[in-house]
Amino acid sequence: MNKSVVAKSGSDIIISDMSHCKPKSAFSKRESRNRWQLLAYRTYEGEPQSGMLLGAPSLVAAPEVTLPLNVTGWHSVSIGFWIPKHDYDGATTIKVKLDNDPCFTRISEPEPVFGTQPKDGASLLKEAHFKTADLTGCHLVFGKIGGTFAQKAYIAYVRLTPLDESAVRALQADQTRTDTRIVQATIDGISYLWSHEYRSREQILELVEPYRNTDVGKVTWAFCYGEATNYPSKVGLYMGRSGKNGRKISLGNNPYQMGMATAQASLARLEAKGIIPQAVVAEHVHEMGLKFEAMFRLGIAGKLPPRPLTGLFDGGFVRTHPQFRLCMADGTPVEKASYAFPEVRALMLGIIREAAEIFDIDGASLAFCRGPVLVAWEKPVLDDFRKEFKADARKLPLDDPRLLQIRYRYLNEFVRDVRRALDEVGVAKGKRLELSAWYEGHTPAARACAGFDVETWIREGLLDSVVGSVGNTGMDPLIIAAANAQGCRAITGLVCSGGTTHESRKGLLTNATKLLYPAGIDGIALWDSDTLPAGELWPVLRRMGHRKEFFAMAKTPPERPIIGLKDVDGSNMEAENGRFGLFAAAYSCG
């Protein structure tokens, strides 16, 4: 490779001149609406000492570019990038792949928090591992996020670290292991569409490609939100259509409303191209040797006050069947369907059976963890209670032992019906479909109030796995013991969203080690796993099945190279008590 492109640091090869990307027409040295910009930079110390970075602000529609590598054999590949704070342009996401990869991998970092950086706030280059692979004949390809919620990307250098033969053999042996695949990656199935970015099959694959050769053994994908489905359904209300068989979500003036309207348009656009995300993801997940599970969020909302024109909660079923609503003890209706009614159970069971028949899933996950109360003081409950106990259930709290006997029976019957439906579909498909349940309630009292008889579901052999509350509180030892006795996998839940600051990300790692520690835990389920900051957290969490290694990394995360910038495009980046540097200039003049 041209010597002007490469610096040596020990055995590493550092490519710091991004002007060698192709095609040349994709970038310039001046700002442009549809091209990358080249910016010269120098650093304080270490390697690289200087270079030419390739960057684009969030709303620039920069095209894909290719960087020749001209190396052979196995290498670890890391990407050095810049996250300027002074531009007030939010977070960073760099899309990178080898030219023979099926899709891009995204390296994401939140916007830096002012005052937390070393060197008195000087602007920094950070580094994130991309992958380890045989690079013979390969090129790197870079891209960036566009669309409604576009993000900036500034690529400074590429670090290639060669592997010797023993390291390659160890890596390949490790990648064939299945005993470490204890992680369940969960994606909500709709929020990723908010960005207006996912328009092709390849872009859909970007959501799950990061799980290749990691300790993830299962991908769980939400298929519905009550009656609202994110796939074309004959049973539920498909979010990608408006009118008679769907709902029209209007464009609002806040991020949530804008996101939901964009998601509906994205689903419709993908459907017109013959792309159904679940089908695409299932095929890719199976190609990677992982399981694919369909999640069903069970709360069926009505037309919630103040009845906005946007959002999921159109309340079609409850609006047309108000007699099936939840009720308070005094008879006040709640805009939510009650599973005490067989018609409500039949609606959700129909969606589950339909999805199991249409898609190549390995099982179903029942999400009891979202808005848990599904049975209260409705007419079937009052009638059954009066018949058995000759009393008025409205005078009792939800967790009264006698009332619990009645409330439990409806959800117990629902779980039994789902198990039977999966067995029937599985026989037709020639494979057994597993059943999992995410429950809410860390204590027996909390589960009783919600009406979840989890121990019975386990004892009757209805569940193949049970996932504890996603509130980062861990699993009740009683549930762990019941699951272990029955051969049901006990999985603890961990919320991944919200890790936008260094302290919150550190706290997430601490929670992860605590949740994996108790005896009898078989794995961990990452709620909103697609929101993880890829640069800092994912390199650690991807090794959760290697417990000793993971605990060590979580306690002392591996240090990533952080390089202080001296200048960029001729502008001073140094800082002295916060008075100089680009951020100080932008802040003091703003």
3-state secondary structure 38-59: EEEEEECCCCCCEEEEEEECCC
What pLDDT sits at residue 271?
A: 95
Helix (H, G, I), strand (E, B) or coil at 260: helix
Using 50, 70 and 90 to split pLDDT, how confident is the model at 244? very low
294 DSSP β-pair partners: 221, 364
* pLDDT attached to residue 590: 59
544 pLDDT more than 60: yes
Assess contact for 541 and 214: CB atoms under 8 A: no
Q: In the 8-state DSSP scheme, what is residue 565?
A: E
DSSP 53-86: EEEE-TT--PPPEEEE----SEEEEEEEEE--ST
pLDDT of amino acid 500: 55
User: Among 46-50, 336-340, 476-480, 533-537, which stretch is predicted with the lowest mean pLDDT?
Assistant: 533-537
Distance separating alpha carbons of residues 550 and 537, to the nearest angstrom = 11
pLDDT digits (tens, 9 = 90+) for 554-565: 888 777 788 888
- Residues for the chain: how many in total? 590
pTM of the full structure: 0.91
Given pLDDT bands bounded at 50, 70 and 90, which one contains residue 346? very high
Statement: residue 469 has pLDDT above 90: no
Q: Please name the residues in contact with 424: beta carbons below 8 A apart, sequence gap of 6 or more.
A: none
Q: Which amino acid is at 587?
A: Y
Tell me whether strands 228-229 and 237-238 are parallel, antiparallel or unpaired.
parallel
Q: What angle do CA 356, 362, 366 make, to 5 degrees?
A: 65
Question: What is the C-alpha separation between 230 and 268, in angstroms, rounded?
Answer: 10
Q: Is the pLDDT of residue 536 over 60?
A: yes
pLDDT beyond 50 at 97: yes
pLDDT at 2: 39
pLDDT at 95 (0 to 100): 95
Query: Is residue 542 over pLDDT 50?
Result: yes
Q: How far apart are the C-alpha atoms of 434 and 291, rounded to whole Å? A: 10
Supply the pLDDT for residue 572.
80
State what percent of residues in the chain have pLDDT above 70.
87
For residue 234, is pLDDT > 70?
A: yes
Number of C-beta neighbours around residue 539 at 10 A: 16
If one compares 21 and 555, the residue with the highest pLDDT of the two is: 21
For residue 302, which of 333, 343, 331 has the smallest C-alpha distance? 333
Kindly state the average pLDDT of the residues 26-36.
90
**Residue 493 confidence (pLDDT) above 70:** yes
Whole-angstrom CA distances from 589 to 111, 568, 586 are: 20, 19, 5
Mean per-residue pLDDT, 138-159: 93
Residue type, 162: P
Question: Domains of the chain (ranges plus CATH)?
Answer: 6-174+561-588 (2.60.120.260), 181-495 (3.20.20.80)
In order of 47, 272, 341, 408, 410, the CA distances from 390 in angstroms are 81, 57, 21, 18, 20
In what helix (H) or strand (E) does residue 259 lie, and over which residues does it extend?
helix 255-272
pLDDT digits (tens, 9 = 90+) for 568-589: 998 887 655 455 566 666 666 6
Q: Is the torsion defined by CA of 143, 502, 120, 585 positive or negative?
A: positive
Least confident window among 114-118, 166-170, 218-222, 288-292: 114-118
User: Is 499:556 a contact under the CB 8 Å cutoff?
Assistant: no
Mean pLDDT of the chain: 88
